[in-house]
Amino acid sequence: MDRFNEKLSAFRQDTGDRIEEIIHGLKMKEIIEKNEEEEKTRKIIIAVFAIVGIVAAIAAISYAVYRFVTPDYLEDYEDDFDDDFLDSIDEKAEVPEEKAE
């Protein structure tokens, strides 16, 4: 009978260890699945930020090219104004010299 009791207690111990391993495995599986869900969320957030960054970079480059290629009409206007203003001053300066002669 002692031998039977020893085998029974060994079987119970072995069964208890296996149940603990199964429970531990299930807990680990839950933790891994939770981590995978969090990782998926992180990947989605990173992808969204990457897309926003790419769009912002393209917009900045487009604006820089636009500013570089677009002619500056104000400079032409200021040059014409200066030329007209200087021409009128030169004409006024020449008039008294002609009358003096």
One-character DSSP codes across 5-57:
HHHHHHHHHHHHHHHHHHHHHHHHHHHHHHHHHHHHHHHHHHHHHHHHHHHHH
Average pLDDT, the chain: 79
Give CA–CA dist 72/79, Å, rounded. Answer: 12
Share of residues in the chain with pLDDT > 90 (%): 28
pLDDT at 55 (0 to 100): 98
Query: Is residue 85 pLDDT above 70, yes or no?
Result: no
Nearest to 54 by CA among 66, 62, 43: 62
Which of 15-19, 26-30, 56-60, 90-94 has the least mean pLDDT? 90-94
Residue 90 pLDDT more than 80?
no
Q: Report the pLDDT value the prediction gives residue 12, as an integer from 0 to 100.
A: 82
Query: Per-domain residue ranges for the chain?
Result: 72-101
